[in-house]
Amino acid sequence: MKMEAVLNCSSQHEKPCGLILQYGTAGFRTKAEHLDHVMYRMGLLAVLRSKKTKSVIGVMVTASHNPEEDNGVKLVDPMGEMLVQEWEVYATNLANAEQNELQAVLTDIIQKECISLQQEASVAIGRDTRPSSENLAHAVIDGVTALNSKYHDYGLVTTPQLHYIVCCCNTEGRYGTPTVEGYYNKLSSAFNNLVKQAHDQGDKKKCLSVDGANGIGALKLKEMEEYLQSAISVQLYNDGSRGKLNHLCGADYVKVQQKPPQGVEIKPGEPFCSFDGDADRIVYYYNDSVGHFHLLDGDKIATLISTFIKELLLKIDLTLKMAVVQTAYANGSSTRYLEEVMKVPVYCAKTGVKHLHHKAQEFDIGVYFEANGHGTVLISKTAEEQIRHLANMEQNDEKKKAANMLLSLIDLINQTVGDAISDMLVIEAILSLKGFTVQTWDAIYTDLPNRQLKVKVADRKVIETTDAERRTVKPPGLQEKIDDLVKNYNMSRSFVRPSGTEDVVRVYAEADTQENADRLAHEVSLAVFHIAGGVGEEPKPL
């Protein structure tokens, strides 16, 4: 490694004095003007990771659902998964190193990981539509070329498309063709195969209104429409032609505000969905006949998909280990429905997609979604082989049809990461096959009323949790107080957890009525404020 060239180039991507960042589930995220040095150094790290794994590594320039003036970066591991946790530490150390420490930090990574610098490296780079993304992608390229390594700049892509491309590159095409066109072809072919098997729809074409969050998802969905053989008609809103990215629109806005994006008029019963800024999250919603807003979030999506898969498995008489993985934020009604009605095991993982993904890998079929709409389905190689064998060898027509449906579903699902476009097509295919409207889907179970609040504290680290963040172990007395408060309400539960990025404690409560959920959330917030070192004004009733 020609360290002199690396350091010389690094001096052109200067680190702001005193800036400290942490690589987490979302990678790095902050104001775009602070990220030039980070991008250069993530180019370097991607090369080292590529040499270590002897694989193509992805670098995605995006800040997802954050405001337009922010940006960020995520590294994509060989099978399209998120960067392994051990390397998150390297990313953090590298981003925070002062110029005179950079050589030592790089040398430390190379020695600890026994990286051969003679090994070739290849990096796949993608970016979202933010005004800052193009220049920041160039900084990544500078990092890759400073280490004399190869790269392919895929330009404007959704985050899930880059994950798909990286997986394709490292499986010699077994997962698909490593291009955006390959992605469109794979997903559209599977979708068209599925909807063809729906009961006679007559001339009625499926229609869906989509809020693209003024982001990359809108751009790519437009490109994909021609591949869908008019099986679905998409009406795009917030398509990026005007309006700011994620401003008063997008999946995060709809989920948090519990209302449709601004500038969109929803007719009663009309199905709508929203992507986030980099198209890895999706939520559905509609207004009923009296104008009441109904949100179908990640819990509803996981329930629809897992129920459909379970029904197909029963038809082909195949026993596979299947489970749904949720976080503590999952609505209690969804958990009860899955366990008690569908007899599907449910497991709880810590908040953060990487934790759910890791847990889902333990099963033949693992369905995971965060309540925010980020999730997917993982199908083991063994399960896929068994299903494929049945599709090829089964003599019974009904069983053969069900096995082929499962194979199409496997192709339609982006197993590398949550994918708004893929998830949307999976949902639309299932609704067609089951003859469901969005209202029928919503009626599978009724969400328990819930409330999320934040409490400012002097130091969020005073809160320590266990049991997938559902119970606190520190500070002393807090969990006992929460337990006492929960006893006062029907069908209630509450938990608190420290924010991963700021000195606040997040409070979640649910109960039989919205009034009770609100009261419980407020009472737990007061307990957090007084026991965990709250700052500022005491939380006020809602």
**Active-site annotation holds for 432:** no
- The reply to whether 541 falls in a domain is no
Cα–Cα distance measured from residue 49 to residue 57, given in angstroms and rounded to the nearest whole number: 7
411 is in an annotated binding site: no
Q: Give the end of a domain, one of 414, 442, 470.
A: 442
Overall average pLDDT of the 187-210 stretch = 83
276 is in an annotated binding site: yes
- The reply to whether 215 falls in a domain is yes
Residue in 11, 50, 55, 64 annotated catalytic: 64
For residue 517, give its domain range. 450-531
Cα–Cα distance measured from residue 370 to residue 496, given in angstroms and rounded to the nearest whole number: 17
- The reply to whether 359 falls in a domain is yes
pLDDT of res. 206: 80
Q: Which helix (H) or strand (E) holds 365?
A: strand 365-369
Residue with tokens 């985050």: 159
Rounded to 10 degrees, the C-alpha dihedral 342/232/369/455 comes to -120
303 is in an annotated binding site: no
Same domain, 67 and 146: yes
Same domain, 421 and 466: no
Cα–Cα distance measured from residue 234 to residue 238, given in angstroms and rounded to the nearest whole number: 13
Residue with tokens 């220049």: 135
Residue with tokens 């007061």: 526
What tokens does 88 get? Answer: 């998150």
Same domain, 304 and 282: no
500 is in an annotated binding site: yes
- The reply to whether 466 falls in a domain is yes
pLDDT of res. 173: 87
Same domain, 265 and 340: no
Same domain, 457 and 526: yes
pLDDT cut 70: percent of the chain above it: 99
268 is in an annotated binding site: no
Confidence at 375, pLDDT banded by 50, 70, 90: very high
Same domain, 325 and 421: yes
Cα–Cα distance measured from residue 489 to residue 516, given in angstroms and rounded to the nearest whole number: 7
pLDDT digit string, tens, across residues 248-278:
999 999 998 889 999 888 999 999 999 999 9
Neighbour tally for 186: CB within 10 Å: 20
- The reply to whether 165 falls in a domain is no
447 is in an annotated binding site: no
pLDDT of res. 17: 86
Range in 8-17, 35-44, 181-190, 202-211 with the lowest mean pLDDT? 202-211
- The reply to whether 430 falls in a domain is yes
Cite the DSSP H helix spans in 171-231: 180-196, 216-224
- Beta strands per DSSP E along 56-164: 56-61, 70-76, 122-127, 150-156
Same domain, 472 and 364: no
Q: Which helix (H) or strand (E) holds 348?
A: strand 346-348
- The reply to whether 169 falls in a domain is no
pLDDT of res. 1: 63
Q: What is the chain's mean pLDDT, rounded?
A: 94
The answer for residues whose C-beta is within 8 angstroms of residue 298's C-beta and 6 or more apart is 283, 330, 369, 370, 371, 372, 373, 374, 375
Query: Over 80: is that where the pLDDT of 204 sits?
Result: no
Q: Give the end of a domain, one of 442, 468, 503.
A: 442
Confidence at 200, pLDDT banded by 50, 70, 90: low
Query: Over 60: is that where the pLDDT of 202 sits?
Result: no
Same domain, 320 and 412: yes
pLDDT of res. 502: 78
- The reply to whether 542 falls in a domain is no
497 is in an annotated binding site: yes
pLDDT digit string, tens, across residues 432-488:
999 999 999 999 999 999 999 999 999 999 999 999 999 999 999 999 999 999 999
Count of domains for the chain: 4
501 is in an annotated binding site: yes
Q: Give the end of a domain, one of 233, 264, 296.
A: 296
Neighbour tally for 196: CB within 10 Å: 11
pLDDT digit string, tens, across residues 293-322:
999 999 999 999 999 999 999 999 998 999
In this prediction the pTM is 0.94
Same domain, 145 and 29: yes
Cα–Cα distance measured from residue 165 to residue 173, given in angstroms and rounded to the nearest whole number: 9
36 is in an annotated binding site: no
299 is in an annotated binding site: no
pLDDT digit string, tens, across residues 428-438:
999 999 999 99
| 8 A C-beta contact, residue 331 and residue 449 | no
Angle in degrees, CA 517, 527, 518, rounded to 5: 15
pLDDT of res. 539: 94
pLDDT digit string, tens, across residues 117-161:
999 999 999 999 999 999 999 999 999 999 999 999 999 999 999
Same domain, 118 and 217: no
- CATH assignment of the domain containing 517: 3.30.310.50
Same domain, 106 and 127: yes
Query: Over 60: is that where the pLDDT of 97 sits?
Result: yes
* Phi, psi dihedrals of residue 128, rounded to the nearest 5°: -95, -170
pLDDT digit string, tens, across residues 159-191:
999 999 999 999 998 999 999 999 999 999 999
Query: Over 80: is that where the pLDDT of 500 sits?
Result: no
Confidence at 229, pLDDT banded by 50, 70, 90: confident
Same domain, 121 and 254: no
345 is in an annotated binding site: no
Sheet with 365-369, strands from edge to edge, namely 346-348, 322-326, 365-369, 375-379
- CATH assignment of the domain containing 115: 3.40.120.10
Confidence at 207, pLDDT banded by 50, 70, 90: confident
